[in-house]
Amino acid sequence: MQPIIWLSIIGVAGAGISMGFLAPGFDLIVQQLGAEETLLESPINTAYVDFEVTKISGINLVGETVFKNRITKCSFETPTALGVGSVVICKLTDKDHDIVAEGKLLLPLGLPANTETKIPISQVAFQNANDVQNIEDVKIIVLGEDPTDVNPQEG
């Protein structure tokens, strides 16, 4: 009789795990999303990105002067106007798709459509991380204006 009880317990536990009630739970945190909101829209659909490259001089191991080309700014433009308080982030990645350098530009007054702006590369993961030979790709992140700020001009 005891093996039947164990088989019943194992059967109930197996059915419970397959339905998920015995599986560990997880918290879902979504900021600034109201009840029954399901559509999150990107602030832009198109972006034009270019780089400003600066020649930096240095000394190599044998004492000779060498020049290195570093990406010092991302040039960003979009045909969509960005609202007050928007943020544009430029992330430079290496061949392993690791982010090695980035810059962030706050737009407290927004950005009119088709206006070129430059994002200074202000953080690097290691020395010479933003050397053009180290960079494989660029990622642009655009955060639109804060939808909870009802009076953005009064900030």
Q: Which domains does the chain have, with CATH numbers?
A: 48-143 (2.60.40)
pLDDT class of 145 with cuts at 50, 70, 90: confident
pLDDT tens digits for range 3-29: 666 556 666 555 555 554 544 554 555
Q: Is 107 exposed, middle or buried (0-12, 13-18, 19+ CB in 10 A)?
A: middle
pLDDT for 16 equals 56
Q: Are strands 86-93 and 137-143 parallel, antiparallel or unpaired?
A: antiparallel
Report pTM: 0.67
Q: Residue 117's CB: how many other CB atoms inside 10 A?
A: 16
Average pLDDT over residues 121-146: 91
pLDDT over 50 (residue 155): no
Up-side HSE of residue 20: CA atoms within 13 Å toward CB? 2
Whole-number pLDDT of residue 40: 63
Chain-wide mean pLDDT for the chain? 80
